[in-house]
Amino acid sequence: MNRRKFIQNTALTGAGIATGVAAMSCKEVPEEKDIAVSTTKSISKSSYISISTWDTSSANNASGELLAQGKPALDAIIAGVAVEEANEENTTVGIGATPDREGNVTLDACVMSPDGDYGAVLAVENIVHVAALARKVMEETPHVIMASKGAEEFAYTQGFKKQKLLTPASEKAWKEWLKTSNYQPAINVENHDTIGMLAMDSSGDIAGVCTTSGLGYKMKGRVGDSPIIGSGLFIDNEVGAAVATGMGEEVLKTVGSFLVVELMRNGMSPQKACEEAIHRIVKKGDRYKDFQVAYIAMNKTGETGSYAIHKGFNMMKYQNENAEVIISDYYNK
Ligand code: GLY
């Protein structure tokens, strides 16, 4: 399935009906009637839940299935996003991702654990599974962020394989782009499909991860929100978790994921908190018309929410062996 399309649960109504993944079908643009404003199902202590950004059902189901086996949230999310990092057809993460203007594929990722620990890698080349590498930074070093060559060299000491990330398809697309070098990222296409995933395991512990190649045809050295704690991702195991996707510059300037979690701490539902974080961006002026940002969030009682600036964003949800797609509500109607 092309990532520019959006999968839709054909039976989705109201707050979303859970069905098997096999029942999902491709559709270019979601219908208004299919928009789920929020989900409010509370979960028991022995329940579990995994949510992820965009059309990432295989990744989210992989996470959900591990949670169903009683695995910790941190293990589930790292294994989950690895599915998309290895998917050459996904042009926004891992192998096959869109390069920078000079043809270098550089990846960013971060992870947060239930105990509030954090690890991140920035601008890493030649390593596919950068989310797992971010976890290694968190668990095996005295640091929290490693960048570029240093992160890559650390990866080899941890047994990661060197792999060329620019595939024949992504190289061909880059060479085509070079003919005009026109840099105007299209909403929901180049700007863009970061995978963020949040999970709560059957012990009630929450972990999260974010992995991306950043903006397609970005300037060499550009880093977005995804590997930056509080912007691309934030977990507070007492409260809940949030993760962002879209134009990273705007998420960074509003410290968006931390904001969502703090709003939940102050009593907002995940849905309302995502909406407020988007409002903080759009109220700055009309520029939001040219870019997409979206958040997904969950709290400790298993409520989830999602909200975007523009139409076309969706969230995957896996809970108690049911997979569903939540087509997100949005600001710019
Ligand atoms: N949200 C991903 C990025 O802007 O790099």
Q: Which two tokens mark 20? A: 């098997």
DSSP track, 80-146: HHHHHHT-TT-TTSSTT----TTS---EEEEEE-TTS-EEEEEEE-S-S-HHHHHHHHHHHSS-SEE
For position 181, what pLDDT does the model report? 86
310 phi, psi to nearest 5 deg: -115, 160
Would you call 228 helix, strand, or coil by DSSP? coil
296 Cα: distance to centroid of ligand 1 (angstroms): 15
21 Cα: distance to centroid of ligand 1 (angstroms): 27
192 Cα: distance to centroid of ligand 1 (angstroms): 7
Q: How many residues does the chain have?
A: 333
3-state secondary structure 161-210: CCCCCCCHHHHHHHHHHHCCCCCCCCECCCECCCEEEEEECCCCCEEEEE
Q: What is the pLDDT of residues 226-246, one digit of tens each?
A: 999 999 999 999 999 999 999
**Distance between alpha carbon 215 and the CA centroid of its chain, in Å?**
14
Where do the structural domains in the chain lie, given as residue ranges? 51-328
- Backbone Cα Rg of the chain: 18
Band (pLDDT 50/70/90 cuts) for residue 2 is very low
Q: Which of 56, 194, 211, 254 is catalytic?
A: 194
For position 187, what pLDDT does the model report? 62
Which of 84, 90, 192, 291 has most ligand 1 atoms within 8 Å of CB, for mutation? Answer: 192
Which of 110, 187, 251, 296 has most ligand 1 atoms within 8 Å of CB, for mutation? Answer: 251
Distance between CA atoms of residues 87 and 78, nearest Å? 15
* pTM exceeding the 0.75 threshold for the entire prediction: yes
Class of domain 51-328: alpha beta
Distance between CA atoms of residues 42 and 51, nearest Å? 15
Distance between CA atoms of residues 249 and 161, nearest Å? 31
Q: What is the pLDDT of residues 83-137, one digit of tens each?
A: 999 999 999 999 999 999 999 999 999 999 999 999 999 999 999 999 999 999 9
